[in-house]
A and B are shown apart, each in its own frame.
Chain A
């Protein structure tokens, strides 16, 4: 595939991943507990947030079983800046570790908004790639 095609595919894949996480977060926002599957998925997404915000890749080298794509890192980087890295990390932390239902609901809502923004930017980039292929 050409680079534009591949890049477009990666952006669409990112949009679908974001949507899938949002779907799993909805029940938590309505008071359900965090399922173990969602927990591990969120841990992976938290890594993406860190990739997108922390200054150096070095801190990730040891831990990274799989390295995210360029498209994931740039999108997460942009959106994390918009939402605030510390606020996001707190939301992840609360969702994964807090025992208080009310706090978890609130964090789930924050993260749904965050992943909605990730999905939206990924879709924008996907359509930009589509346009680049047009003649």
Chain B
């Protein structure tokens, strides 16, 4: 039932709700934040103020005169209050988590190192990442791109808001992993989602999809079947794209983190597609293929450091397309066609990622020359910010450091423990403690070597 009083109540309730949502952005805290996070807070604050002004204006327009002369229009206008409420409802999820992700609770050196690498690529020169926390443990369930899109859409319907900065992206991580280095390599996948959106890869994939779909001459597909099929295929390809993007950005450390996070060494990797993601086994296979078969592959260097993760990667490469299937099909016909199109398009993400990073990966050669020294330093508890190789001082890149340190953690932690007279190699608690130290040394080295270290840390 429409009424002026009801609309006024709804408007004031929304006004109050927005006030409480933006509060963490407005309150001066004693924590420090990176520049992108501050920029994000500033934008949200301004968007909140613009929305509140808009709501106040709208409430004045929803008066008795409008209700009497055009009740239908009154109702349509009042509906906007619900749209705005739900939009702020969704934004709410990201704001306090962003406030929690201050520099003491964020993997700032890792994000700075990955940002520095990304900024060296054409089209990403000004990219910045604000970090948000979440209580969801699975990195792959977050959708930080969504907050950008939502903020942009809200700003289109309220008057006078700021423009969301083009190169400001959001990455989210579980709050429990705030200072981890190795697992947070998974953030490179989130950066891939930003790239996918920024480069309009979805539109670029539509043309080959249509060609393949036409060739299959699918009979009796409705428009809804067709768009669902397209949505499934492009969604799956986006995930593969982000994995490959992450490998080119961070190296095999991404695959190590992927295996560790999903405990994939426990049994055969999952082989069933869901509506939103390809199976973990297939994703790992595509990662392994890239690591083995690019023009300058990581694989030979990884083979020098064999472990149960590299063994798993070797095994997944041999998995056949026919081993992967769809589970819980709503409409088997659509999913079946989507799988067929997907497998025919599986080279597309690799091509798109290569367009960004180029054919050769300069980090591979640097890694093969420097990883031994980085691991030696770590085995003595030395932060490997500057290496002496031969008689030359070398500053390793962030990618070399990250991958060498992860390999050390996987292969050579015992060397460090053996040097400590009081530590038992079989003591799991001791291993966990010293693994954490290795991560801290790696974080310190990443901070030291990242271009303009301190400046970048606060302004990237």
Q: Which residues of A contact B203 (CB under 8 A)?
A: 65-66
Residues of B within 8 Å of A126, CB to CB, are 86
Complex contact B153–A113 (CB within 8 A): no
Does residue A45 face the partner (Cβ distance < 8 Å to B)? no
Binds A, one of B226-234, B290-298, B299-307: B226-234
Is the C-beta of B13 less than 8 angstroms from some C-beta in chain A?
no
> Quick one: which of A69, A112, A127 contacts B76, CB cutoff 8 A?
A112
CA distance A120 to B274 in the complex (A): 29
Cβ of A31 within 8 Å of any chain B Cβ, yes or no, is: no
Interface string of A109-132 (1 = CB under 8 A from B): 000110010011001001100000
Once bound together, how far apart are the Cα atoms of A127 and B79, in whole Å? 14
Contact (Cβ within 8 A) B223 A52: yes
CB distance from A15 to the nearest CB of B (A): 5
Q: How far, in whole Å, are A36 and B231 apart by their CA atoms in the complex?
A: 30
Q: Check B72 for interface membership: any CB of A closer than 8 A.
A: yes
The answer, yes or no, to whether B157 is at the interface (CB within 8 Å) is: yes
Contact bitstring A1-25, B, C-beta under 8 A = 1, else 0: 1110110010011011101101100
Cβ-based interface call for B156 (8 A): yes
- How many pairs of residues, A versus B, come closer than 8 Å at their CB atoms? 100
Q: How far is B230's CA from A120's CA once the two chains are assembled, in angstroms?
A: 26
- Our pick among A22, A73, A116 for the contact of B223 (Cβ within 8 Å) is A73
**Given the interface contacts A3-B276, A20-B153, does A12 sit within 8 Å of B80 by beta carbon?**
no
Query: How far in angstroms is the closest Cβ of chain A from B159?
Result: 9
Q: A9-B146, A12-B86, A116-B79 are in contact. Are A66 and B276 (CB under 8 A)?
A: no
- C-alpha spacing A5/B83, complex, angstroms: 17
Within 8 A of B (CB), among A18-62: 19-20, 22-23, 51-52, 54-57, 60-61
CA distance A113 to B228 in the complex (A): 27
Asked if B82 is an interface residue, CB under 8 A from chain A, the answer is: yes
Once A1-B141, A9-B90 are accepted as A-B contacts, the answer to whether A23 and B157 lie under 8 Å apart by CB is yes
**Nearest CB on A from B204, distance (A):** 10
- Chain A CB within 8 A of B214 CB: yes
- Name the prevailing secondary structure of the B interface residues: helix
B83 close to A6 (CB less than 8 A)? no
| A73 and B276 form a contact (CB under 8 A) | no
Would you call B79 and A9 a contact (CB within 8 A)? no
Contact at B157–A67, with CB atoms within 8 Å? no
B227, A57: Cβ atoms closer than 8 Å: yes
Known: A15-B83, A70-B224. A20 touches B276 (CB 8 A): no
A57:B223 contact, CB within 8 angstroms: yes
- B142 contacts A by Cβ under 8 Å: yes
Least distance between A57 CB and chain B CB atoms (Å): 4
B149 within 8 A of A: yes
For B73, give the chain A residue with the smallest CB separation: A112
A74 at the interface (CB under 8 A from B): yes
Which of chain B's residues has its CB closest to A115's CB? B76
Within the complex, which residue of B76, B154, B210 is in contact with A16, where a contact is CB–CB below 8 Å? B154
Residue A68 lies at the interface, judged by CB distance under 8 Å to chain B: yes
Complex: A13 Cα to B202 Cα, angstroms = 17
A100-116 near B? 1/0 per residue, CB < 8 Å: 00000000000011001
Contact A2/B276 with A12-B90, A61-B210, A73-B223 known, Cβ cut-off 8 Å: yes
* B144-162 interface with A by 8 A CB criterion: 146, 149-150, 153-154, 156-157
Report the Cα distance A65→B204, complex, angstroms. Answer: 9
Complex CA gap A98/B92 in Å reads: 44
**B153 → A minimal CB distance (Å):** 4
Instruction: Judge whether B153 and A6 touch: CB under 8 Å.
Output: no
Contact at A19–B157, with CB atoms within 8 Å? yes
User: Which residues on the B side are within 8 Å of A119 (C-beta)?
Assistant: 79, 83
On whether A123 and B86 interact (CB within 8 A), knowing A1-B141, A6-B143, A65-B206, the answer reads: yes
Which chain B residue lies CB-closest to A61?
Answer: B210
Bound Cα distance A52, B224 (Å): 8
The CA-CA distance from A119 to B231 in the complex, in Å, is 21
Report the bound CA distance from A65 to B156 in whole Å: 23
B87 on the A face (CB < 8 A)? yes
Residues of A within 8 A of B (CB): 1-3, 5-6, 9, 12-13, 15-17, 19-20, 22-23, 51-52, 54-57, 60-61, 64-70, 72-74, 77, 112-113, 116, 119-120, 123, 126-127
- Give 25 CB contacts A-B under 8 Å: A1-B141, A2-B276, A3-B275, A5-B141, A9-B146, A9-B150, A12-B87, A12-B90, A20-B153, A56-B222, A57-B221, A57-B222, A61-B210, A64-B210, A69-B231, A70-B227, A112-B73, A113-B72, A113-B76, A116-B76, A119-B79, A119-B83, A123-B79, A123-B82, A123-B83
Residues of B within 8 A of A (CB): 72-73, 76, 79-80, 82-83, 86-87, 90, 141-143, 146, 149-150, 153-154, 156-157, 202-203, 206, 210, 213-214, 221-224, 226-228, 230-231, 274-276
Give the 3 A-B residue pairs with the shortest CB-CB distance, closest first: A57-B226, A16-B153, A116-B76
